[in-house]
Structure 1
Amino acid sequence: MVDVRRDRVGEVMSTADGRLWLRAPVGGREWEALPCDVQPATANDQLRVKVADANHRSGRRWTR
């Protein structure tokens, strides 16, 4: 899923009180999002995560 308010891709870990808890596919801290701020991730979004993870693991720091 994509949290469009934060421009972050995450997996839904849980839901509570009408809110979603997301975590980046590569791990890290969860964050809270409203359902109206979340949409399904496109293939491009998923690729962006994979490239960022590969860059991170190679020691390179890329920003958009």
Structure 2
Amino acid sequence: MRDAQHEPGALLYDPATDKVGEYQDRSGPYAMLRPVGGGREWQADPATLRPATTEQRLSAGVRAANRRARTDAPFMVGIGTPRPPALEPDCAECEDLGSRRESARAAHDWSAETDANVLLRSHRRERHE
């Protein structure tokens, strides 16, 4: 049963958790909310929910952006994370793969950046070691 007061995607403030969530749907007597930017849904009492204020919406968006920056950025090298392979000077294939990697980084295409690094590591093992 859909809540007549709330449309899917509406940002609502849940006073029980002091959080802003994106309304998903009803589940039995509960409203289902998801954190702004994604994450695990939680159940809320639909009678206590209210539209989020502009300040609350902005704050939730900033928290989501900060969370993405900490978790999605490939340049955040952690323990056990291999460093990107270096290019060999005067090697056309290394230069091509390095260019692919830089283009992927500029486009924020982390998958393509990883692919270029894998190909570059393989090329370095076969030709330069």
Q: How many residues align?
A: 59
TM-score relative to the length of structure 1: 0.78
* Residues 46-61 of structure 1 mapped to structure 2, 5 A cutoff: 46-59=57-70
Aligned equivalents of 1:40, 1:34: Cα separation in 2: 14
Gap regions ≥5 residues in structure 2: 1-11, 71-129
Larger Rg: 2
Structure holding more strand per residue: 1
Correspondence list, 1:16-55, <5 A: 16-55=27-66
**TM-score, normalized by length of structure 2?**
0.42
- Structure 1 gap segments, 5+ residues each: 60-64
String of CA shifts for 1:20-61, please: whole Å, max 9, x gaps: 0000121001100011231110100111012212322343xx
Give 2:23's aligned amino acid: V
* Higher relative helix content: 2
Quote the RMSD (CA, aligned, Å).
1.4
Partner of 1:62: none
